Chains A and B, each alone.
Chain A
Amino acid sequence: MITDLFHWFGDPAHWSGPDGVPQRLLEHLGYVALSLVIALVIAVPLGLFVGHTGRGGVALVSAGNAIRALPTLGLVTFLFLLFTESVTSTIIGLVVLAVPPVLAGTYAGLQATDHGVVDAAQGIGMTGWQRLWKVEVPISLPLVLGGIRNAVLQLVATAAVAAYVGLGGLGRFLLDGLAILDYSEVIAGALLTTVLAIVLDLLFALLNRALVPRGVRLATAAATGKKVTA
């Protein structure tokens, strides 16, 4: 298996043209990025609104859970029959799946913000907007980013599944390999998709370190009883 895999990756034919690794990788990243941006535009403001005002929280959580139970393959095939075009239908499906984790993270982040802190912000005369942007958002950033990270993993996995309805991307290697029983191509596809998921996950871990304010990190660490050297 390993030697077959080396042969597959060693073959220059797999590295160029529309069916080459770089092209497929870019396609995959493109679908993930586009649907993530759309999902963020929808979910972050909604999550901030609901978390800040506390209105509609229960409805939001139950709707999110229902969407999480949606079978991805069912969603993708359904949308494909509806729109008869793989990219449009897949992007819509991906957005539908990415919205709940982002929404849940944003909402949970604002919910978990200490009421005393919010009260104090109001006490020193901050307006609603200032409270949101200077207090609630920075404090809830780890949970918001955690939600986005979950969404990205979900997107990478589902974009591969969507190769079934003719979408490009890394899922092509998996399903085309299965169709002609070329197991090394299947494994190459699986490996590439997994590496992409892990690299994106690590990037988000780094982003978390870079974006979350030091004070919040210290406070979280203090709450969980860990020692921090920052």
Chain B
Amino acid sequence: MSFFDELGHYLSSANTRVEILGDLGDHVYLALLPLVLGIVLAITAGWLGHRWRPARRVLTVLANLLYTIPSLALFVVIPGLIGSKILDSVNVVVALTIYTTALLVRPVLDALDAVAPSVIAAATAVGYKPVRKFFAVELPLAVPVLAAGVRVASVSNISLVSVGALIGTGGLGVLFTDGFQREYFSPIVVGIVLTLLLALVVDLILVGIRNLLTPWERAGRTGVAVA
């Protein structure tokens, strides 16, 4: 039986298809929730580090260190730290939130540093209070750099969720353990293809969001072309 016959046979079962869709749904949730949480945490940490020098050094060292921890090790240590059950999917969410935050702290700091002082001075001069200045001026201008980091984090999260299958959480990684235990290629191939497609689709969506958030980038580009 050729591989494609096997694949056709595997996908012909309605049950299997429902299971795969369920795994895909879990995967999206397990990869994207940490992405959102990580972005919020990294912006908060970046704001703190940008304002207060001592925090900056601690944050960069900590981010570097946390990012060094191997994924499987972090996944299994979380239950011991927060008291969750070892098979709980919250472990994966917390671990990936840590990675996302660690990955994004640096870009957020760099992006906030890169905002031109004249722009901030102008915002102050027209009467922006610090909080509004941060959300309406500094943060939007940081979006291009931040978006590049978010794209890397999204690809890395989507690929790492599957490791969670080893500690019993859902997602497309279940297809890999299933295929391995039954010595069956089809689930593994379906899992890999769906992971790659998911990474691609999410990346396209992120690029779309970035373009929506930074209309001046497009205006700038055409402006340059005209001039």
Question: Given that A75-B192, A178-B86 are known contacts, is A161 also in contact with B73, CB under 8 Å in the complex?
Answer: no
What are the interface flags for A79-107 relative to B under an 8 Å C-beta threshold, 1 for contact and 0 otherwise?
01100000000000000000000000000
- Structural contact, A78 and B192, CB atoms closer than 8 A: yes
Tell me, rounded to whole Å, the shortest Cβ–Cβ distance linking B64 to chain A: 8
Listed stretches B43-51, B123-131, B132-140, B174-182; interface member = B174-182
CA distance A75 to B184 in the complex (A): 14
Given contact pairs A74-B162, A174-B72, A174-B73, A183 touches B86 in the complex (Cβ within 8 A) = yes
Binds A, one of B34-42, B194-202, B214-222: B194-202
List A contacts of B195 (CB < 8 A): 69-71, 74
A78 touches B199 (CB 8 A): no
Interface code A1-36, partner B: CB below 8 Å = 1, 0 otherwise? 100000000000000000000000000000000000
Given known contacts A68-B155, A81-B185, A174-B72, is B173 in contact with A73 (CB within 8 Å)?
A: yes
- Give B152's nearest chain A residue, CB to CB: A68
Flag B68-80 by CB within 8 Å of A: 1 or 0 each: 1111111011001
- How many residue pairs link A and B with beta carbons under 8 A? The number is 124
Q: CB-CB < 8 A to B71: which residues of A?
A: 157, 161
**List of B residues within 8 angstroms of A69 by Cβ:** 155, 158-159, 195-196, 199-200
Residues of chain B with a CB closer than 8 A to A68's CB = 155-156, 159
Bound-state Cα–Cα, A196 to B184, Å: 34
Majority-rule SS of B interface residues:
helix
- When the two chains form their complex, are residues A161 and B72 in contact, meaning their CB atoms are under 8 A apart? yes
The interface residues of chain A, by DSSP majority, are classed as helix
A residues less than 8 Å from B188 (CB atoms): 74, 77-78, 81
CB distance from B178 to the nearest CB of A (A): 9
Asked whether A194 lies within 8 Å of B70 as measured between CB atoms, the reply is yes
Q: Which of A74, A183, A198 contacts B65 (CB 8 A)?
A: A198
**Structural contact, B68 and A197, CB atoms closer than 8 A:** yes
Would B196 and A157 count as touching, CB distance under 8 A? no
Query: Residue of A at shortest CB range from B158?
Result: A69
Count chain A CB atoms within 10 A of each CB in B71, B184, B185, B195 and give the residue with the most: B71
- By a CB distance below 8 angstroms, the chain A residues around B104 are none
A165 to B65, CA, bound (A): 28
Residues of A within 8 A of B7 (CB): none
Could you tell me how many residues of chain A have their Cβ less than 8 Å away from some Cβ of chain B? 38
Q: A69-B195, A183-B80 are in contact. Are A81 and B180 (CB under 8 A)?
A: yes
Interface pair B73/A160, CB less than 8 Å apart:
yes
A43 sits at the interface (CB 8 A): no
Closest 8 CB pairs of A and B: A157-B70, A190-B73, A69-B199, A71-B162, A77-B180, A74-B192, A193-B73, A77-B176
Chain B interface (Cβ < 8 Å from any Cβ of A): 65, 67-74, 76-77, 80, 86, 155-156, 158-163, 165-167, 172-173, 175-177, 179-180, 183-185, 188-189, 191-192, 195-196, 199-200
User: Could you name 23 residue pairs across A and B whose Cβ atoms are closer than 8 Å?
Assistant: A68-B155, A68-B159, A69-B159, A71-B158, A72-B160, A74-B162, A74-B172, A74-B175, A77-B177, A78-B192, A80-B180, A81-B179, A81-B183, A81-B184, A153-B70, A157-B71, A157-B73, A160-B70, A164-B177, A187-B76, A191-B73, A194-B68, A197-B69
